[in-house]
Structure 1
Amino acid sequence: MTGKAVPRFEVDKASSLPLWVQLRDRFVFLISSGYYEPDEQLPSVRKFAAENHVSLNTVSKAFMALEREGYIVTRHGSGAYVRGGVSEAVLSDIDVITEDYVRSCLERGMDLEDIPRFVGQAIARLRAAGEGDDRDARP
């Protein structure tokens, strides 16, 4: 079982998104941000539902979507784990984020040729701070 506390989940009652989608989005954020690392076990559906006062069916539906989209894998009798490596769903999200970033730079008056330099500088700062050193090499 994971040693991390079960993350708190607050329902956005003003949102038009169904509860299971809000929950799925929260776990995508927790996985994408590194809160949960590859191969790390997620809280059980039952434990998460009980501690967050959410229906078992709602949590189960969110976990099924996470598995279908490649964020997690379910090991029969053992639980749900973050998929090791980068899934196609994550790569697709990264592609969208990257394109948005490039468009944002262009809207601020940058040239396409300037953008890689700024990305390189950001990578250098992150390396100097020791971030990203513990991640496996990506294809």
Structure 2
Amino acid sequence: MFELDLRSRKPLYEQLVEKFKEFIFSGIMEPDEKLPSVRTLSQQLTINPNTIQKAYRELEMQGYIYSVKGKGSFVNHTVEQVDTARLQEIRSELKKLLAEALYMGMSPSEMREIIQEIEAEGSEHHD
């Protein structure tokens, strides 16, 4: 289900958060679908349960999942609403990065190539 890069500089919990978001956005995980228990996922990935718990807390804080005491964690219905706010943040960050890239000498055509590469990678995952 998951492949985490143990050599990455990015913390494992952040990698988990990104993976779950990817599954939610792509429709692999649907609203009200139960996430694996902390214990189960910890055993499958052979990582500390605290790492899983931290990722789940982060996802819940961002509004992607909700918890039911004694039942577990589930994909939230309001992901579309969360997306709008997050998209605004991303747009703002992206503007800053693009302005910096232009200032550093990257051409608009190079930026378009990067976008096309990302689109191509995305379509490979959805096939």
TM-score (norm 1): 0.59
| Separation in 2, partners of 1:74, 1:63 | 9
| Unpaired runs of at least 5, structure 2 | 99-107, 110-127
Question: Relative to 1, partners in 2 of residues 1:13 and 1:52: Cα closer, same or farther, differing over 3 Å?
Answer: closer
Aligned Cα root-mean-square deviation (Å)? 2.2
1:72 to 2:69 alignment: no
Supply the AA of the counterpart residue of 1:12: D
Which string of whole-angstrom CA distances, capped at 9 and with x for unpartnered residues, describes residues 8-50 of structure 1? x222134211111111111111111111101111111111111
Is contact 1:39-1:82 (8 Å) kept?
A: yes
Give, in angstroms, the shift of residue 54 of structure 1: 1.4
Could you tell me which residue of structure 2 aligns to residue 25 of structure 1?
18
TM-score (norm 2): 0.64
| Separation in 1, partners of 2:17, 2:34 | 16
Give, in angstroms, the shift of residue 87 of structure 1: 5.1
- Secondary structure of residue in 2 paired with 1:48: helix
- Secondary structure of residue in 2 paired with 1:15: coil
| Separation in 2, partners of 1:87, 1:67 | 15
1:36 to 2:29 alignment: yes
Give, in angstroms, the shift of residue 88 of structure 1: 4.6
Is contact 2:63-2:78 (8 Å) kept?
A: no
- Could you say which structure has the higher helix fraction? 2
| Unpaired runs of at least 5, structure 1 | 1-6, 109-139
